[in-house]
Amino acid sequence: MCGIMGYAGHRQAAPILLEALKKLEYRGYDSAGMAVIDRGAIQVRKTRGRLQLLANMTADGRDMPGSMGIGHTRWATHGEPSDRNSHPHLSHNGHFAVVHNGIIENYRPLKEMLILKGYVFRSDTDSEVISNLIEFYDQGDLVKTLMTAAQHLEGSYALGVLSVDEPDVIAAIRKDSPLIVGRGEKENYIVSDIPAILNLTREVYLLEDGEVALLTPESIVFHNAYGDRFEKEPFHVDWDVSAAEKGGYEHFMMKEMMEQPAALRETIRPRIKDGRFILDDLKLDPDWIRHISMVYIVACGSAYHAGRLGKNLLESKLGIPVEVDIASEFRYRRPILKPDHLVIIISQSGETADSIAALREAKAHGVRTLAIVNVVGSTIAREADYTLYTWAGPEIAVATTKGYTSQIAALVLVTMYLAQETGKMSDEELGEAQEMLLRLPEVTEGVLSDHREVQRLASLFFNCKDIYFVGRGIDFSLSLEGSLKLKEISYIHSEAQAAGELKHGTISLIQPGTLVIALVTQKRLREKMQSNIQEVKARGAVVIAITLQGDEDIKHVVDHSLPIPYLSDELQPVIAILLLQLFAYYVAALNGNDVDKPRNLAKSVTVE
């Protein structure tokens, strides 16, 4: 969960590194640093804190001469955020500099071995082991040295390496952490994420596990896991550069919330043609679809919450049992997997470490896997048997918004497609579902066009210490995401509770003035929710309800209501979450928090 940038060219490297690192800071912002080769020596500048401190320290990079360099922005795992724990890390003799994204699981025995050999360590990180291990195995050939050192590393890593013995080369290698190689005009790059170099190039190579890339200003040479040179096909990026910029908004999060109608259109419209759901990119065997006996949905964080909504959809429309697992639990609980099961992996980045491991666990059992991801060419997208892209566009803010809603839309599409292919829904039902899906972007646009009431409510409750979200059925799954969104950017303690479980413990925490946000968007569960609202009101709670337009009965028993238009039970979560996202945003902003970069969090969780 760190950002890596490397530059091999003829221009001064440091200013270019800084500019790219600004676009990678969502991956980590505890500390930052750069290493540049100049006159046969590696110069390192690094500091605890935001990237701007590094920019100030180096006069925006002008004080670091040299045209070959690597940079890093860190999300701390091993060792507290500090100057000495910041990357890059020099080897003992100063001949190698390394930037690292990932976790080295066996760093302790490696560190102990190297200390016995006389190596001195200057940090508390696992990453410094790598630079010293490279020095220990130095064979005078950077490829052989790097591959030998990598054979002794357990865990995940994406590495950028400088060597004073090969001053015109940047070396890169990866395993289970993303790393991209970019090709420019007489300059080349390594980077953790494509948007950071879109202003420099649109020709990129997706580095696979075990591959080594050697970059000079004029060339890129690839070596496979056996050390043999080979040719690699570039991938042309056709994203709009402005998609990764704020576009006049104060925060990326607000921009991305406002982009949700467009993201939903991109997800939905190409998949509905001539009255049918068309998922050509999946190429699923219709006969095999009819014999699916079990579906697992595996994900982390917000994607897991989307998966819980997918469970409701799949079970209600297909009559197939569905289990939803947190990826970090799935991989260790020895799930019962059979050939007629389907495992759906959901990940915005496609690089979530636990989700990758769950995917590989499923494939090891011979089970077919379907990935719902946003990032083209990501590890999960490449390794899954079938991939459905959400096409939501780059998402920079750490707290996902359009990534989450487009995942729900994708799950609806998958459900309807499977129901269509198995005959589980009539043509009339499928037609109604298509109509509602095609209307969804327009409806979300209307909801987002005026959020003054949400902003007003945030101004009333931004100083709360505890907030509880309650709902039933689909609304309970939705409340999990609403609670997560609030706590991750506002730092206010919040919990999501199945409304029927309130009386089994949580209601003891309700005191006069406690804020409860109640979700009442499911018509068949409305009366039950009204009873639950009255339970917390009787204990003195202040209740904000997200209700359906025209529901006057609920409006009269709560303190504040936020009505939303009704499309269908399946799509109400997409509409309702917009208000919860906005509420979290305004509460966080009113508390003076950095909305895009909440403390202790990073965008792509590439470590366990």
Q: Which residues are catalytic?
A: 2, 603
Q: How does DSSP classify residue 412?
A: H
Which are the contacts of 332, defined by CB distance < 8 A and separation ≥ 6? none
Query: In angstroms, what CA-CA distances link 306 with 301, 396, 527?
Result: 9, 19, 25
β-bridge partners, 155: 104
d(CA 403, CA 405): 6
d(CA 409, CA 263): 10
580 in Cβ contact with 481 (< 8 Å): yes
Q: Which of 236, 499, 510 is nearest to 376 (CA)?
A: 236
Give the amino acid at 201: T
Which are the contacts of 425, defined by CB distance < 8 A and separation ≥ 6? 317, 416, 419, 433
Q: Which of 366, 363, 370 is nearest to 281 (CA)?
A: 370
Q: Write the burial class of residue 420 (CB in 10 Å: 0-12 exposed, 13-18 middle, 19+ buried).
A: buried
- Sheet order of strands, 515-520 included: 493-498, 466-471, 515-520, 542-548, 560-564
CB atoms within 10 A of CB 99: 31
d(CA 213, CA 181): 8
Which are the contacts of 514, defined by CB distance < 8 A and separation ≥ 6? 466, 468, 536, 539, 540, 541, 542
H-run or E-run covering 148: helix 142-150
How remote is the C-alpha of 309 from its chain's centroid? Answer: 18
Provide the H-helix boundaries in 117-220. Answer: 128-136, 142-150
113 in Cβ contact with 67 (< 8 Å): no
CA 246-250-255 angle, to 5 degrees, is 50
H-run or E-run covering 543: strand 542-548
Tokens 């459905």 identify what position?
Answer: 388
And the tokens for 301? 């964080």
407 in Cβ contact with 372 (< 8 Å): yes
Which are the contacts of 475, defined by CB distance < 8 A and separation ≥ 6? 499, 519, 520, 521, 522, 525, 529, 573, 576
Which are the contacts of 145, defined by CB distance < 8 A and separation ≥ 6? 134, 137, 138, 139
d(CA 513, CA 464): 9
Where are any strands of DSSP class E within 300-407? 322-326, 341-347, 368-373, 386-389
d(CA 208, CA 206): 6
109 preceded by a cis bond (ω within 30 of 0): no
